[in-house]
Chains A and B, each alone.
Chain A
Amino acid sequence: MIELFKLLLNDALFSAVPAVGFAMVFNVPTRMLAFCAIGGAFAHSLRTLCIYWGVPLEWATLVASTSVGLIGVYWSRRYLIPRPVFTVASIIPMIPGSYAFTTMVGIISLYSNGFSEPLLATIIENGLRTMFILMALSFGLAIPSVVIYRGRPIV
């Protein structure tokens, strides 16, 4: 139990920093950076908790991004700010960057080093993982406006 708690704390700490860092690249207003940190820490540790309970990676991602999307509705209505301002920065730590780049480096290597089956398998597996995680992230964020608000503006 203590181990799990330490794991989650570690996760929350090391994903809050990237959320703030990328929020600054997106020029999120200074007073909103704290929300990005909270969202990032919450989302990534929720995903880790789900994975710990045995949920597959993509579904865990969907759960985490849906909860960030719902929290985003509350914050955006309270501060009258569009939702992507918090939510996209919060899920940045979960974006499958390594998988995406592995796919692309693999494609280049497939050409330069010649065809091999293990390489093709790496490319396809990583590419599919990238796609499904991205779809889970983005669809999760869209759930409040697709399911609850259905076309009405949130703010």
Chain B
Amino acid sequence: MLRSFRHSPEPVQAPVRIISLEQQTEICRVAVQAGRIMQQHGAESKLIEETTVRLGKALGLESVELAITANALILTGLSQGRCITTTRRVYDRGINMHMVCEVQRITIMAEKQLLGVDDVVKRLERLRPFKHNRWLVVFMIGMSCACFSRLFGGDWAVFAMTFVASAVAMLFRQEMAHRHHNPILNFGMTAFVATSIAGLAVRYDIGNQPQTVMAASVLLLVPGFPLINAVSDMVKGHISMGISRWFFASLLSLGVAMGIAFSMWATGVSGWL
């Protein structure tokens, strides 16, 4: 274990190759595509920048400069005094760590000179986002929120109510996401569903602390990944990306709070504050 800390793998620097203009364009396209896949599936800015730069250099560019903005990537590839700049629009495709892993793997293989430009293009095109079985996800998220209620000190009745509320909410969230609704609207409406079901526990006084059901059943909507990415972007110097991620995560939380408040107003059950 210690050895793996001490020795950092030196990236295999490809010898500077004489490449034609067409090849240079091709490499720039591949590199920006790799970065784009990473950003669309929720990687942090440092990883996006690192990957595109490494991939571009591994395939034969002299240097790669990448500008990351909230919804576009701008990449310039240099070779023999020529610059090629290209911009790609980035659409949010939802967090998918499988895609991030695969792009990273392709980059490492290209860096070890196991893959040429054509192979990288082929492999990137072949990537399809892997998704876990949706019913399994619904079950696991129900169990997760129920476990949170247990950590907050609820008994088994609270556990069961939280499971029902958050599993139904997760199903609703998947349906909304499947229909490409706006994420903020999706989170707000899901929070409404979760809190309305959880409100039943308070109304009929189920379990030792019914209020816990309301608090725990909306925890499936915590924007954990955007918040963590936001802070780590800011720590690692990508301040503007960090701010935009932070603001987006805050808006999502505000949407959730709106859903909770609306549900409490509509059902007359109060569980927060």
Chain B residues near A153 (CB-CB < 8 A) = 8-9, 11, 50, 54
Closest to A106 in B: B273
**A interface SS class:** helix
What's the nearest-Cβ distance from chain A to residue B212, in Å?
A: 10
Query: Interface with A: B64-72, B199-207, B225-233, which one?
Result: B225-233
B98 within 8 Å of A (CB atoms): yes
Contact between A28 and B231, CB atoms less than 8 A apart: no
A28 in complex: contacting residue of B8, B43, B97, B136, CB < 8 Å: B97
Given A82-B43, A139-B235: A101 in contact with B144 (beta carbons within 8 A)? no
Bound CA span A135–B228, Å: 8
B98 in complex: contacting residue of A28, A97, A98, CB < 8 Å: A28
Chain B residues near A122 (CB-CB < 8 A) = 273
Contact between B132 and A27, CB atoms less than 8 A apart: yes
Bound CA span A97–B148, Å: 11
Contact between A14 and B97, CB atoms less than 8 A apart: no
B97 in complex: contacting residue of A20, A29, A80, CB < 8 Å: A29
Contact between B95 and A25, CB atoms less than 8 A apart: yes
Bound CA span A78–B4, Å: 8
A64 within 8 Å of B (CB atoms): no
Chain B residues near A25 (CB-CB < 8 A) = 95, 137, 141, 220
Given A15-B151, A22-B144, A102-B273: A138 in contact with B224 (beta carbons within 8 A)? no
Query: Which B residues contact A (CB, under 8 angstroms)?
Result: 1, 4-5, 8-9, 11, 42-44, 46-47, 50, 54, 95-101, 104-105, 108, 129-132, 136-137, 140-141, 143-145, 147-148, 150-152, 215-216, 218-222, 224-225, 227-232, 235-236, 253-254, 256-258, 260-261, 272-273
Closest 9 CB pairs of A and B: A104-B257, A138-B231, A21-B144, A97-B222, A18-B144, A21-B140, A14-B147, A27-B96, A17-B147
